[in-house]
A = this chain, B = another copy of it.
Amino acid sequence: MADRLDITYVLTCHSGESPEDKALGIALEQTVELPLATISSDIRARMVGRIEELAPLDGPRYQARISYPLAAIGSEPTQCLNLLFGNISLKQGMRIVAIDWPEPLLRAFGGPAFGIAGLRALVGQPDGPLLCSALKPMGMTAAELAARCEQFALGGVHIIKDDHGVADQPDAPFAERLARCQEAIARANARTGRQSLYFPNVTAGYRELPQRLAAAKAAGCKGVLINAWITGLDALRYARDEFGLAVMAHPALTGAYFAPDHGIAPELLLGDLFRLAGADASIYPNTGGRFGFSVETCEAINHHLRRPLAGIEPSLPTPGGGMDIQRAPEWVRRYGPDTIVLIGGSLYAQGDLAAASKALREALEAA
């Protein structure tokens, strides 16, 4: 249905709950927020979610598909998020497992400005896997982080981003870090002839985020890192539209939605939503690292970031979170070349960052 937003939920019915009531409860809660008895038949027909399908799964679980009129959303990602999971986040046993996006919403979100091909052009690497590392730890000075940035760039790391927790702390204030790391990247690129990029972490509030984006743009950065759930998802779109910057999105604070019975499937949140809001690259915790995603979840995220979606550029999956340099080539073979491999700690453990980065990049290219 091209003119409606179609959402599929898995409902887990606790003792005594009827799946019909639970589905109708969602359809009302996410639109009119009133009991049926207090709304007109016109409003009911035009606004309330329509239960398209309700089928039993195993045990106490049911699959419900509910479609919503675009008039319940308008064209803003904020209200779309609210319709998806705003009030029902406060309920239980409701998990969004599929979203069928109508074209008007795809156009309203807009997706990545650069996408896979565009980001590849920025880093001068038309094919093969891409490598990313993170400047850390917090507590180092801007000069120390910039020295690490230079080493990574000398080793040919394509994208060197701030750690997502390196923001504007006194040891390495944003403005100084931005200046020093951009200088460091430029020095290294002049030596290597490559186009490594520094993505500063611009995550900040409503007054400061625009200032940091403007500063990053003015310093010559081509892209930035944003903790999209902390800023609000729309910050991705804002960085894209107002500053023309490429955006790498970090999943901090999103994990609470990934519970088995209640929330939003990771491939929809870190895949569809991040991509549609403008992420050219979406970081997620790779399986086997410090976090608990299964390989199936990782592959589902990859698929949702890259799959054809009318008029929307694909995004680069960026698995990270405790990836090991030894196993990195294996992940590239499994996930395919349109992947950014994000490795921090395992490179730092090598000591010589430039040499370790170069060796890793070559191993990835061989894979």
Contacts and interface: CB of A to CB of B under 8 A. Distances in A.
Interface of A: 25, 29-35, 37-39, 42-43, 46-47, 71-79, 81-83, 85-92, 134, 136-140, 163-165, 167-171, 203-210, 227, 230-235, 237-238, 241-242, 251-259, 262-263, 285, 290-292, 321, 344-345, 348-349
A34 B348 CA distance: 9
Contacts of A235: 206, 232
A204 B349 contact: no
A137 to B, nearest CB: 3
A138 B234 CA distance: 22
Given A86-B252, A167-B82, A235-B232, A34 B205 contact: no
A254 B203 contact: no
A242 to B, nearest CB: 7
Count the copies: 2
A38 to B, nearest CB: 4
B230 A72 contact: no
A129 B295 CA distance: 53
Given A32-B138, A170-B71, A171-B71, A77 B163 contact: no
B206 A254 contact: no
A208 B90 CA distance: 26
Closest 6 CB pairs of A and B: A232-B232, A205-B234, A89-B255, A86-B252, A90-B255, A32-B137
Given A32-B137, A82-B227, A92-B292, A204 B76 contact: yes
Given A78-B203, A89-B255, A91-B292, 13 more contacts: A31-B139, A32-B137, A32-B138, A72-B169, A73-B169, A76-B167, A79-B169, A86-B164, A86-B253, A87-B321, A90-B291, A205-B234, A259-B259
Given A33-B345, A34-B344, A137-B47, A232 B252 contact: no
A139 to B, nearest CB: 4
Given A47-B139, A232-B230, A344-B34, A207 B241 contact: yes
A170 B74 contact: yes
B253 A263 contact: no
Nearest to A292: B92
A34 B139 contact: no
Contacts of A88: 255
20 contacts: A33-B344, A34-B137, A43-B139, A71-B169, A76-B168, A78-B203, A78-B204, A78-B230, A82-B164, A82-B230, A85-B253, A86-B165, A86-B230, A86-B253, A90-B251, A90-B291, A205-B232, A206-B210, A231-B232, A256-B256
